[in-house]
Amino acid sequence: MSEIYPVPPAFAARAHVDAAAYDRLYRQSVEDGEGFWRGQAAFLEWMRPFTRVSDTNFDPADLRIRWFADGTLNASVNCVDRHLPAKADKPAILWEGDTPGENRMVTWGELADKVNRLANVLKGLGVGKGDVVAVYLPVIPEVMVAMMACVRIGAVHTVVFSGFSSESLANRIEDSQAKVLITADEGHRGGRVVPLKRNADVAVAGQPSIRHVVVVRRSGAPVPVTPGRDLWYDEATVAADPWCEPVEVGAEDPLFILYTSGSTGKPKGLVHTTGGYLVHVGTSWRIIFDWHEGDLFWCTADVGWVTAHSYKIYGPLLNGATSVMFEGVPSWPDSSRWWSIIEKHGVNIFYTAPTALRSLMREGEGPVRKHDLSSLRVLGSVGEPINPEAWRWYHSVIGGGRCPIVDNYWQTETGAVLLVPIPGAIPNKPGMAAQPYFGIRPEVVDADGNTLEGAAEGNMCFRGSWPGQARTILHDHERFIRTYFAPYPGRFFTGDGVKRDADGYYRISGRVDDVINVSGHRLGTVELESAISSHPAVAEAAVVGYPHEVKGQGVFAYVTLKEEVPESEELRREIIEWVRARIGPIASPDIVQWAPALPKNRAGKILRRILTKVAANQFDNFGDTSTVADPAVVDDIVRRRQTHLAQEKA
Ligand code: WT7
């Protein structure tokens, strides 16, 4: 028997979409996708209206994804200018700094002014339509300004998570050939200082594509300045003209590039285009969070991820919604920080990730009870499967039992939501992303490519295009086709496993490829392995995910040292540090186990299935081990794991 939480009737009564509307609209949206999305596209202000809705084909031999292709528009006009007549003096952003008491309010009028000025600064630096601008900023209003300033002049932003290392930043700059980098002197997170300008200097040193670095003064700390290359954001924008004519771009012109990890070493730059993305994001954001005029929205995601691109920046801006923006972390100065912000501002819609909920849950109800959370109406969850225990805590302790939970499933590649319990329409089942969004056709597919009907378990695929999906991987269209469209022809393959129950509810079970999901962050195991293997003492490494109470999955690294190198605690710590420095703290291995050899088949392929089992403390049922070249290797990694567990217990 599965647990069902019906839609509260009062909620359904004022919702944009109730159960009857969902059934009707969903049917219409799949029977007449063109008609449905044409209607949705009216949500945007177009400069030249499109005549054709879509031209799409998922056949790997002739892949086409084009939406509203002959229409033209400007994203910043839709996100900012449109709201000025009614809202120039009203808040767009309520910002809370890392340190309690430090806050700012930015009105729509101020936002427009900042966007126009920075757009002119970028233009003055030689940035034009189609040029790439890298953004390496903390969660401060200027990050939104930077993104909007880029799209105002038809430039393409690539936002890099400010927790990434200089090397990760450099890789992304190199791949995207960004002309300008926008960063800050320092970032503040959880009471600690992040030396952004210093990281940026290291990253830019070997990147000739970068001509200028624009530096936002966040902390005011003295930082090195390279004359001729660097300029201060505040000085440059004060001197700039306050009006910048928005550039008309085609619907299929790129809006942004966002890098994410895949199952091969190099992060891939997913390219999103303008018209389709804005239609899908803007209309779905309003519906899935059931936002109404006057509601206050807060998404806790960092700007470096797609969650924030779509549903913290573009979704709220397109709808003229006021958002809370918070620079810090939920646990600092103490674990009631988020709840104090909800109470202070009266947040109505709160959107976060399961990993944070699991860590806050461990602090008990005390930190929550100190605050009045009665303003909350809708709760969102994204980034990884939410375990039923965390779901129930979120529902009862944070939501007081009255708020529907919007567990929305999607990816960097999909741009916006695919599966979601629309809150006024679909009853909740804990841990289930529930039902398809409008126009979305999920399929559960077995390993042979057969589409399964009814209750079933298999690979999560989608048939038919939707406007928000990525169009390509930058410089690697072949990889785009191979990864997403070749595995199951006619369908987009997500890389996730899924289970559908008898009521047609979907539960995502996690990745089935070489990607692990650590605290809602995607990490490619191959990327981690190459970082570890680049350490001079390491001969070889294999990385797998293992179940982690708070992070969902943790990083488990099996490391083979070079012959003459002795195993030591010091070296173990050094390798962990090495990965932090190469990728960033989110990629730190949780467990490093020495492996004098790795289990391989006769062709030399590492048998990850066995490594994954051992990491999860499953020491039997390795399945068919006849392919293992040397069975003694398996015995050895099992023995080492068991010894470690015994030591931990003692
Ligand atoms: C991967 C995508 C959605 C934007 C944030 C992450 C996992 C995401 C859910 C969910 C279960 C989820 C999948 C997916 N995932 N949302 N509601 N339930 N799993 O974007 O970094 O591109 O990661 O996150 O495994 O493939 P991303």
Dist. CA 58 → ligand 1 center (Å): 22
User: What is the rounded CA–CA span in Å between residue 417 and residue 436?
Assistant: 9
Axis crossing angle, helix 525-533 with helix 569-582, rounded to the nearest 10 = 120
User: What is the rounded CA–CA span in Å between residue 517 and residue 498?
Assistant: 15
User: What is the rounded CA–CA span in Å between residue 578 and residue 588?
Assistant: 9
User: What is the rounded CA–CA span in Å between residue 33 and residue 436?
Assistant: 14
Dist. CA 521 → ligand 1 center (Å): 8
Dist. CA 511 → ligand 1 center (Å): 9
Indicate if the pLDDT at residue 1 is higher than 70. Answer: no
User: For a pLDDT cut of 90, what percent of the chain falls above it?
Assistant: 94
> What would the mean pLDDT of 529-554 be, rounded to a whole number?
95
Helices (H), 505-587: 525-533, 569-582
> What would the mean pLDDT of 385-406 be, rounded to a whole number?
97
- The string of DSSP letters for 301-329 reads --TTSHHHIIIIIIHHHHHT-EEEEE-S-
> What would the mean pLDDT of 259-282 be, rounded to a whole number?
92
Q: Is 519 in the pocket of ligand 1 (CB under 6 A)?
A: no
Q: Which domains does the chain have, with CATH numbers?
A: 1-72+419-513 (2.30.38.10), 78-249 (3.40.50.12780), 519-649 (3.30.300.30)
User: What is the rounded CA–CA span in Å between residue 83 and residue 148?
Assistant: 14
Q: What is the pLDDT of residue 623?
A: 74
> What would the mean pLDDT of 42-56 be, rounded to a whole number?
98
> What would the mean pLDDT of 478-503 be, rounded to a whole number?
97
User: What is the rounded CA–CA span in Å between residue 121 and residue 212?
Assistant: 11
Dist. CA 128 → ligand 1 center (Å): 33
Q: Is 307 in the pocket of ligand 1 (CB under 6 A)?
A: yes
Strands 506-511 and 491-500: antiparallel
Residue identifier of the C-alpha nearest atom 20 of ligand 1:
411
Which tens digit of pLDDT belongs to each residue from 139-183? Answer: 999 999 999 999 999 999 999 999 999 999 999 999 999 999 999
- Cβ count within 10 A of residue 13: 10
Where are any strands of DSSP class E within 112-229? 132-136, 156-159, 180-184, 187-189, 192-194, 212-216
Measuring CA to CA, which residue among 116, 145, 415 is closest to residue 274?
Answer: 415
Three-state DSSP state, 501 = coil
List 297's β-bridge partners, or say none. Answer: 323, 349
Between the CA of residue 20 and those of 24, 417, 596, what are the distances in Å? 6, 20, 61
- Cβ count within 10 A of residue 242: 11
Residue identifier of the C-alpha nearest atom 17 of ligand 1:
409
Three-state DSSP state, 181 = strand
- Cβ count within 10 A of residue 392: 18
User: What is the rounded CA–CA span in Å between residue 392 and residue 638?
Assistant: 36
Q: Give the ligand 1 atom nearest the CA of 521.
A: 21
Q: Is 496 in the pocket of ligand 1 (CB under 6 A)?
A: yes
Which tens digit of pLDDT belongs to each residue from 94-140? Answer: 999 999 999 999 999 999 999 999 999 999 999 999 999 999 999 99
User: What is the rounded CA–CA span in Å between residue 285 and residue 141?
Assistant: 20
Which tens digit of pLDDT belongs to each residue from 579-618? Answer: 999 999 999 999 999 999 999 988 888 898 999 999 999 9
The token pair that represents 433 in the structure block: 């992303």
DSSP 8-class letter at 61: G
User: What is the rounded CA–CA span in Å between residue 136 and residue 169?
Assistant: 8
> What would the mean pLDDT of 542-564 be, rounded to a whole number?
96
The token pair that represents 121 in the structure block: 């600064």
Question: Cβ neighbours of residue 367 under 8 Å, at least 6 residues apart?
Answer: 334, 335, 336, 339, 360
Which tens digit of pLDDT belongs to each residue from 219-268? Answer: 999 999 999 999 999 999 999 999 999 999 999 999 999 999 887 768 89
Measuring CA to CA, which residue among 324, 320, 255, 326 is closest to residue 286?
Answer: 320
The answer to whether 179 and 211 have CB atoms below 8 angstroms apart is yes
Which tens digit of pLDDT belongs to each residue from 419-430? Answer: 999 999 999 999
* Burial zone of 506 (CB within 10 Å; 0-12 exposed, 13-18 middle, 19+ buried): buried
- Cβ count within 10 A of residue 188: 20
The answer to whether 329 and 99 have CB atoms below 8 angstroms apart is no
Indicate if the pLDDT at residue 622 is higher than 60. Answer: yes
